[in-house]
Chains A and B, each alone.
Chain A
């Protein structure tokens, strides 16, 4: 018997088992098994096939197992919904937190932004630059109003490096915050000259010298009598669509720590520097635009400038790359000699 005929017989036997075989198919199967003993032995006759399938039907009909999946499936469907809801809530919370953190990172944590309603006036007499802060109401009487003149970042080297690096006192912070937008790119050299004058306040001292803030409205005005001759004032950026880059935490965030050799050399002088700041507030390059004459002092200034974090320059509220200029004047009291 050919192989194909036996395969066909299997198909016919299957049809008989399922009750789908026609009379012709049954006749054909009978004809095959009557001549093929192997197929008869393997598949059985029609009656055997039907008896086997009847046993299957008996087994099926006798089953009593009746599970109830309704509650289980409903619970799982609800748990999937709950997981989805929790996931969406968590993602929303993460996005909100990231927005808040980004806001604080850009504006500076805990730093109060300067009020643009109080304009800053810059006087330049060819030798020195003086910034003064006054209220909008007193703007027309700018030349006659009391002025606060600040020459900042005067560092007196009177102690060992660890003491020099002490943190600035809050009072100095306040004064510096008012005088913040001090130096600016093109006037850096002239600004350096301004630092050669008498210090109005000093920071980084301590010990015998201490940190003293001697600035007062009247005494400062007396200290710089030439300001009365400076007219007219130049109002800087009245619309304030541009906000200069500045260190986060104010200028006192920059704390130069000169190497011990600076004390041994009784180093003194003014280091004027310029830091390039990218739109993320990261300092990318520090340049000494006017050297103090001592490499140790210049290095200390640049290292402090590159360590600090900055608020980037804002043009119409959009951060752009910018520069920050400032200067440190170092003075040695001589007590560090022999270090």
Chain B
């Protein structure tokens, strides 16, 4: 995966740098997050939060080179945090509208629908491993660096996730 290093020119150009990041990664990042959380609106919110976090980081340290991996790492952490909160909300008996958290996607492709159905059944660690590798295009080494684990662990997670994907998508 190509690493994009953005050379900071100062705090004044933080906004311009974030604009560049948004233009380049907004689609990939939003789709990645949507697959993780199964909700387009939530994916948009988390994507905005990621770019605003990048903006705050550049404001504090204009010299810091921000990579695409940094964006995916932040997005993964935010998505996992959202999934944990959603899990807690679903456990609450008073939550009658938990169906609103159901997957909302406007894709017409059958493969996309199948993939999303399978993704909803995956634990967050397996989902993030699959999405970062087969979806975002990172190698197991790069995905391991983003997730803070080893390459073998990423491969193992992909293998276990693949069992669920196969049962939903190919049968």
Contacts and interface: CB of A to CB of B under 8 A. Distances in A.
Interface in B141-171: 152, 154-160, 162-163, 165-166, 169-170
A10 B156 contact: yes
A184 interface: no
A73 B48 contact: yes
B72 interface: no
Majority secondary structure of chain B interface residues (helix, strand, loop or mixed): helix
Interface in A200-246: none
Interface residues of A, number: 39
Contact of A63 (B112, B114, B160): B112
Given A18-B139, A52-B166, A73 B107 contact: no
Contacts of A70: 19, 22-23, 26
Contacts of A69: 22, 26, 30, 44, 47-48, 51
B152 A73 contact: no
Given A55-B165, A77-B15, A11 B111 contact: no
A30 to B, nearest CB: 15
A53 B135 contact: no
B89 interface: no
Interface in A40-64: 42-44, 48-49, 51-53, 55-60, 62-64
B155 A62 contact: no
B: contact size bracket: 35 or more
B134 interface: yes
Given A14-B157, A55-B169, A63 B31 contact: yes
A92 B160 CA distance: 59
Interface string A5-43: 001001111110110100000000000000000000011
A74 interface: yes
Contacts of B135: 56, 60
Interface in B85-138: 105-109, 111-112, 114-115, 130, 133-135
B52 interface: yes
Contacts of B73: none
Contacts of A137: none
Nearest to B23: A70
B145 to A, nearest CB: 15
A7 B158 CA distance: 13
B44 A11 contact: no
B40 interface: yes
Nearest to A81: B15
A53 B134 contact: yes
Contact of B18 (A11, A55, A62, A73): A73
B106 A65 contact: yes
Given A14-B140, A65-B107, A48 B18 contact: no
B155 A15 contact: yes
A77 B19 CA distance: 10
B22 A43 contact: no
Contacts of B108: 64
Interface string B28-55: 0011001000001001100110011001
B166 A48 contact: yes
Contacts of B165: 52, 55-56
Nearest to A53: B134
Closest 5 CB pairs of A and B: A14-B155, A62-B109, A59-B115, A59-B111, A14-B159
Interface of A: 7, 10-15, 17-18, 20, 42-44, 48-49, 51-53, 55-60, 62-70, 72-74, 76-77, 80
25 contacts: A7-B156, A13-B162, A15-B140, A43-B162, A44-B166, A48-B166, A52-B162, A52-B166, A55-B111, A55-B165, A56-B134, A58-B109, A58-B111, A59-B109, A59-B111, A59-B115, A62-B112, A63-B109, A65-B34, A67-B40, A67-B47, A70-B22, A73-B19, A74-B15, A77-B15
